[in-house]
Amino acid sequence: MIKWLRTALAATLLILFTLVLLPVQLVCLRFDLRLRRLLPRVWHKAACHALGIRVRVHGDLNPHRPLMLASNHVSWKDIVVLGSVADVVFIAKSEVKAWPVFGLLARLQATIFIEREQKRSTGDQVNEIGRRLAAGEIVVLFPEGTTSDGNRLLEIKTSLFGAAASAVPLSPTGLVHVQPVALCYTGVYGMPMGRFHRTIAGWPGDIGLVPSLMGLLRAGAIDVDVVFGEAVVYEATSNRKLVSREIGIRIRSMLIRRLRGR
């Protein structure tokens, strides 16, 4: 009974907070006001609190721009976590637009939607990401292309780093900074989270969004460590495969160390 009451309270508070910020964000998006980049962070912080996600940050966000964050991908919760620690925009598959609630929230955050199956539009989508980077927005890339179980880093898709290459000609310095980020789900119920319990944090493809959300609310609280690594500089002469390989090495190293409690 207590868990259901907590779930209802969390949902109510989050809905009310969303209704307060919604009209303000719509106006900011309509007139492209700078505040449109700041309000999502406020919402994500509130969402973390309501959902019982406790975030610990290690390291610092790179101060240089253009900046792309390359992170491992465990769950939809990654969006809320990263959105609570930095003013970022995300790259998402076009199907997310149709998701209940989350699709609306993604559009309100000016998410960059990509059509994975439509090869003809790939160039335009990459250029859009490049323009957003060059404009000073921090773009989050999940280079695995899908979610994992939280215990490991899947194979990095090098093609996704074409977005960084597209921003190089638009950058005032001719450079794009790609910063690796490791999202490490480390605690549940106030106890260390082992490999077995990490499925609570993860989001396998065969579990629906609503059951995953309800599972999180019933868990009471989970802890997640966000580790910012040293950025890699992408320039005109950079090799995309080499950059992606180096980013993968750094994410994997940070992930393993933090999951082992180091």
- pLDDT tens-digit map of 26-77: 999 999 898 999 999 999 999 999 888 999 999 999 999 999 999 999 988 8
The mean per-residue pLDDT over the stretch 137-160 comes to 91
Q: Which domain holds residue 71?
A: 54-213+222-259
Counting Cβ atoms within 10 Å, is residue 63 exposed (0-12), middle (13-18) or buried (19+)? exposed
The better pLDDT of the pair 149, 109 is held by: 109
The mean per-residue pLDDT over the stretch 137-161 comes to 91
The mean per-residue pLDDT over the stretch 152-160 comes to 90
Of 192, 190, 182, 183, nearest in space to 261 by CA? 192
Domain-embedded: residue 203: yes
Q: Average per-residue pLDDT in the chain?
A: 87
Asked if 129 and 91 count as a contact pair (C-beta separation under 8 A), the reply is: yes
**pLDDT given at position 119:** 54
Domain-embedded: residue 39: no
Of 145, 142, 143, 113, nearest in space to 129 by CA? 113
Domain-embedded: residue 48: no
Say how far apart CA 37 and CA 133 lie, in whole Å.
Answer: 13
The better pLDDT of the pair 219, 145 is held by: 145
State the pLDDT confidence band at 98, using cuts at 50, 70 and 90: confident
The mean per-residue pLDDT over the stretch 160-165 comes to 87
Domain-embedded: residue 2: no
Domain-embedded: residue 36: no
The mean per-residue pLDDT over the stretch 15-20 comes to 90
Domain-embedded: residue 154: yes
**pLDDT given at position 245:** 96
Asked if 193 and 201 count as a contact pair (C-beta separation under 8 A), the reply is: yes
Cβ contacts of 3 within 8 Å, gap of 6 or more? 217, 218, 220
Judging by DSSP bridges, how do beta strands 222-228 and 53-58 pair with one another?
parallel
State the pLDDT confidence band at 118, using cuts at 50, 70 and 90: low
Number of domains composing the chain:
1
**pLDDT given at position 246:** 97
Asked if 156 and 247 count as a contact pair (C-beta separation under 8 A), the reply is: yes
Asked if 103 and 125 count as a contact pair (C-beta separation under 8 A), the reply is: no
Domain-embedded: residue 84: yes
Judging by DSSP bridges, how do beta strands 138-141 and 88-93 pair with one another?
parallel
CA geometry: angle 176, 177, 178, nearest 5 deg: 115
Give the single-character DSSP code of 148: -
Q: Where are the beta strands (DSSP E) in 142-260?
A: 175-188, 191-192, 222-228, 232-235
Domain-embedded: residue 153: yes
Say how far apart CA 256 and CA 180 lie, in whole Å.
Answer: 14
User: Which CATH number characterizes residue 72's domain?
Assistant: 3.40.1130.10
The single-letter code of the amino acid at 103 is G
State the pLDDT confidence band at 124, using cuts at 50, 70 and 90: confident
Say how far apart CA 93 and CA 115 lie, in whole Å.
Answer: 6
Residue 142 has pLDDT above 60, yes or no: yes
**pLDDT given at position 221:** 81
**pLDDT given at position 1:** 57
- pLDDT tens-digit map of 164-221: 998 999 998 999 999 999 999 998 877 888 777 776 777 655 555 666 566 666 666 8
Residue 122 has pLDDT above 60, yes or no: no
Q: Pull the structure tokens for residue 223.
A: 């802890």
Provide the angle, in degrees to the nearest 10, between the axes of the packed helices 35-51 and 2-30.
Answer: 180
